[in-house]
Amino acid sequence: MAETAVAENGSGGDANVVRVDLGTRGYDIRIGRGLLASAGAEIAAVLPGARLAVVADETVARLHLKAFSQSLTAAGLDHRAITVPAGESTKCFREFERLCDEILAARLERGDAVVALGGGVVGDLTGFAASAVRRGMAFIQVPTTLLAQVDSSVGGKTGINSRHGKNLIGAFHQPVLVLADTAVLDTLAPRDFRSGYAEVAKYGLLGDAEFFAWLEDNWQAVFAGGPERDEAVARSCQAKAEVVAADELESGRRALLNLGHTFGHALEAAVSYETERLVHGEGVAIGMMLAHEFSERLGLTGEDTVLRVRRHLTDVGLPVRVRDIPGQLPPAETFLDIIAQDKKVSRGALTFILTRGIGEAFVEKGVDPALVADFLKEKLEA
Amino acid sequence: MAETAVAENGSGGDANVVRVDLGTRGYDIRIGRGLLASAGAEIAAVLPGARLAVVADETVARLHLKAFSQSLTAAGLDHRAITVPAGESTKCFREFERLCDEILAARLERGDAVVALGGGVVGDLTGFAASAVRRGMAFIQVPTTLLAQVDSSVGGKTGINSRHGKNLIGAFHQPVLVLADTAVLDTLAPRDFRSGYAEVAKYGLLGDAEFFAWLEDNWQAVFAGGPERDEAVARSCQAKAEVVAADELESGRRALLNLGHTFGHALEAAVSYETERLVHGEGVAIGMMLAHEFSERLGLTGEDTVLRVRRHLTDVGLPVRVRDIPGQLPPAETFLDIIAQDKKVSRGALTFILTRGIGEAFVEKGVDPALVADFLKEKLEA
């Protein structure tokens, strides 16, 4: 479905290109160091003459907006910057309304585009606004975190949070182009880089044992920023692109991408999304551990699988146990309630991503809630 | 693309069925007198076992919710009613947020559905909420006005208004079923029935001269509520279904449906959407007249076409001249500004639906704004 190719880009550097094959909604993900400097040329090649609204949070605007804007101007692209507050609380109805209004105030027409320059929060909010303004504006993702580059900017899921839970309001709205500049990741805090790395490891664990083994050997170079980083981002995007192309609207196989996320989301909710205690990728890391341990408990895989996953996540500095989360946690019953309200529930039965070994995850519908309750109780008391 | 068939429905009455052919997103529009009483059985046939959130405004809830709810209960469908205020101002961000929250509070899961029981306002707001909650819930339209039955409930356009204009925020979200009970239209005020009728006449004018001639002969029976009403609704839905199936996302031919709407929307905006002065269908009626007169001015059609359209619209009691609108109107320049901000603008050029005769409308891009200005100035001073 998706293929990785090495192509020359306008700035003379090599860029990895991953194609997301969705027919008329298909698009390229371009990955490379320093891509921000040639972003204008890349965008002009896809949408010649388009006017752009560029959305960034205050932090990213301070770090990267000037360079990005210069690149747009150099390519002759008229644009207006719109700034939103930094942080998860920006994914709310009020900011959604404000952003839609600002995009309309910029008088963009059909054929123009909305650009998300930032991490997952800005990408999700901006993508939803782009889907809704005039019932759908062209949308470009310029992800500036590792998490956004390998996960949230690929696949078209957009949305905001409701008081009933995260990402419960949104749209499937595919971008027309994704530009991932891996040099931008040098400005990330180590904890944020690690958090994104949990999703990179996930792609190995869910379906590519060879990639997981490669990560075991090369993770230090990925963190340091060598060509291995570009390769890790490209292989992650390729893995996600294949799943998305096979199941755009998440009716089946795409659920595999939720490996570690059902437990992970419950942990995030249990700490009220206090990022001092737990960031998303840390929840995913612990969640992936729990998914492997639960699979072992069900006799689906052996202890060696669990040990290997734990060793790698520990090596890179990610948490692997519920008790690695600082502070008090609610009882197991609360976790089950949270999981039941999670949107990956179908007609009251619990759906989990389980595994038969490294790279062999599968979707299991109808998991017995009592088994999950016993397992969680034990883990919370461990 | 679409075909009209006569089929038996569960309650023993005859229903006209129009199929909207959109592949996996295709759906039936069922049209008939008294359909509300069998709505539960109709819905259960499409979504067996679904739980429903039923959205109605206060007026429709008082008139029709009890009968509708009884029909759902009789079919064993668990449901919860959600009431919104009546009126265009309900199509706002605040009600969108409240409705999304209420749908989530009802704990609907994938496979459940959101029902819009009402006119265009409730259909547009509810459809947008259905598109956004969990990134897309199944959606059912039960239109209770003529305008909604022949226009807004068909084709998947949903949305709310922004301070920059009407319907500027929304989604394309197709329903899974549309149930149009033509007996419900007996409860409409005559002015609201006439307003919906403007859209019925539009289908004849834009592409079906034979239908327009049929309406000239049969409009009194359509107003009175005989089988001619069902036929008029079915033929209108069929006309719209064909256009929608050919151009779901309005990239080309679907723009034909805007016959009379560019001028009509500008008139509505010019009176600040004060429905005491002008309701939507009245704006469309005057807009259709202007489109025919402008086409005559450009030498595209003859005076006989204009006279025939004017006679029919006048016969049914619709306004046909700008001066039929009570009170002061802004100057022609203001109208041009409004038209330029209309979302049917592409790269600064004006797009109009013009005609070569009854049933021969076409999309004309790049109309000279100066010609429109002169024409409007004359009409405003007439």
Residue A346 is classified by DSSP as: B
| Most confident listed range (A263-277, B72-86, B265-279) | B72-86
More confident residue, B199 or B332: B199
> Is there a contact between B244 and B330 (Cβ–Cβ < 8 Å)?
no
**Predicted local confidence at residue B165, as pLDDT:** 84
Percent of chain A with pLDDT strictly greater than 70: 94
Cβ contact, residue pair A134, B168, below 8 Å: yes
pLDDT band at B12 (very low <50, low <70, confident <90, very high): very low
Model confidence over A317-361: pLDDT tens digits?
A: 999 999 999 999 998 888 888 887 764 555 567 889 999 999 999
Nearest to B171 among A109, A132, A343 (CB): A132
Phi, psi (5° rounding) for residue A358?
A: -60, 125
Instruction: Report the number of distinct structural domains present in chain B.
Output: 2
Cβ contact, residue pair A163, B101, below 8 Å: yes
Model confidence over B214-240: pLDDT tens digits?
A: 999 999 999 999 999 999 999 999 999
Q: Is B89 on the interface with A (CB under 8 A)?
A: no
- Give CA separation, A71 vs A35, A112, B101, in Å: 10, 17, 41
pLDDT band at B248 (very low <50, low <70, confident <90, very high): confident
For residue A79, what are the β-bridge partners?
A: A52
Among residues B187, B208, B238, which one ends one of the domains?
Answer: B187
Q: List the single residue in A with minimal CA-CA distance to B94.
A: A93
**Predicted local confidence at residue B365, as pLDDT:** 87
pLDDT band at B7 (very low <50, low <70, confident <90, very high): very low
* Whether A209 and A268 share a structural domain: yes
**Predicted local confidence at residue B8, as pLDDT:** 38
**Predicted local confidence at residue B316, as pLDDT:** 98
pLDDT band at B6 (very low <50, low <70, confident <90, very high): very low
pLDDT at A269 > cutoff 80: yes
CATH number at B276 reads: 1.20.1090.10
**Predicted local confidence at residue B346, as pLDDT:** 55
**Predicted local confidence at residue A286, as pLDDT:** 98
CATH number at B15 reads: 3.40.50.1970
Phi-psi sector, A17: left (phi>0), alpha (psi -120 to 50), beta? beta
Percent of chain B with pLDDT strictly greater than 90: 79
Alpha-carbon dihedral of residues B201, B207, B210, B212, nearest 10 degrees? Answer: 10
Q: List the single residue in A with minimal CA-CA distance to B133.
A: A169
* Whether A271 and A366 share a structural domain: yes
Model confidence over A83-103: pLDDT tens digits?
A: 999 999 999 999 999 999 999
pLDDT at A5 > cutoff 70: no
Phi-psi sector, B80: left (phi>0), alpha (psi -120 to 50), beta? beta
Cβ contact, residue pair A171, B341, below 8 Å: no
* Rounded-to-integer distance, Cα B83 and Cα B256, Å: 34
**Predicted local confidence at residue B13, as pLDDT:** 47
* Whether B248 and B263 share a structural domain: yes
* Whether A239 and A260 share a structural domain: yes
Percent of chain B with pLDDT strictly greater than 70: 94
Distance from CA of A340 to the nearest CA of B (A): 10
Distance from CA of A211 to the nearest CA of B (A): 31
pLDDT at A253 > cutoff 60: yes
**Predicted local confidence at residue B247, as pLDDT:** 81
Q: Tell me the mean pLDDT in the region B252-272.
A: 90
Q: Is A127 on the interface with B (CB under 8 A)?
A: no
Q: Tell me the mean pLDDT in the region B298-327.
A: 97
* Whether B177 and B216 share a structural domain: no
Nearest to A164 among B105, B164, B348 (CB): B105
Cβ contact, residue pair B135, A93, below 8 Å: no
Angle at CA of residue A182, ends A176 and A184, nearest 5° = 100
Q: Domain limits at A123? A: 4-187
User: A362 by DSSP, 3-state: which?
Assistant: strand
* Whether A116 and A229 share a structural domain: no
Among residues B155, B187, B219, which one ends one of the domains?
Answer: B187
Q: Is B159 on the interface with A (CB under 8 A)?
A: yes
* Whether A61 and A158 share a structural domain: yes
**Predicted local confidence at residue B348, as pLDDT:** 60
One DSSP character per residue, A225-254 reads TSHHHHHHHHHHHHHHHHHHHH-TT-SSGG
Question: How many other C-beta atoms are found inside a 10 Å radius of the C-beta of residue A228?
Answer: 18
* Whether A158 and A177 share a structural domain: yes
Closest alpha carbon to A135 in B119, B100, B151, B158: B158
> Which of chain A's residues have a Cβ under 8 Å away from the Cβ of B159?
132, 135
* Whether B119 and B171 share a structural domain: yes
pLDDT at B139 > cutoff 80: yes
* Rounded-to-integer distance, Cα A114 and Cα A176, Å: 10
**Predicted local confidence at residue B219, as pLDDT:** 98
* Whether A359 and A225 share a structural domain: yes
Distance from CA of B157 to the nearest CA of A (A): 8
Q: Is B300 on the interface with A (CB under 8 A)?
A: no
* Rounded-to-integer distance, Cα A322 and Cα A333, Å: 15
> Is there a contact between A324 and A310 (Cβ–Cβ < 8 Å)?
no
Among residues B153, B187, B221, which one ends one of the domains?
Answer: B187
* Whether A288 and A333 share a structural domain: yes
pLDDT at B276 > cutoff 70: yes
Closest alpha carbon to B124 in B132, B135, B116: B116
Model confidence over A112-145: pLDDT tens digits?
A: 999 999 999 999 999 999 999 999 999 999 999 9
Model confidence over A52-77: pLDDT tens digits?
A: 999 999 999 999 999 999 999 999 99
**Predicted local confidence at residue A8, as pLDDT:** 38
* Whether A136 and A203 share a structural domain: no
Cβ contact, residue pair B343, A110, below 8 Å: yes
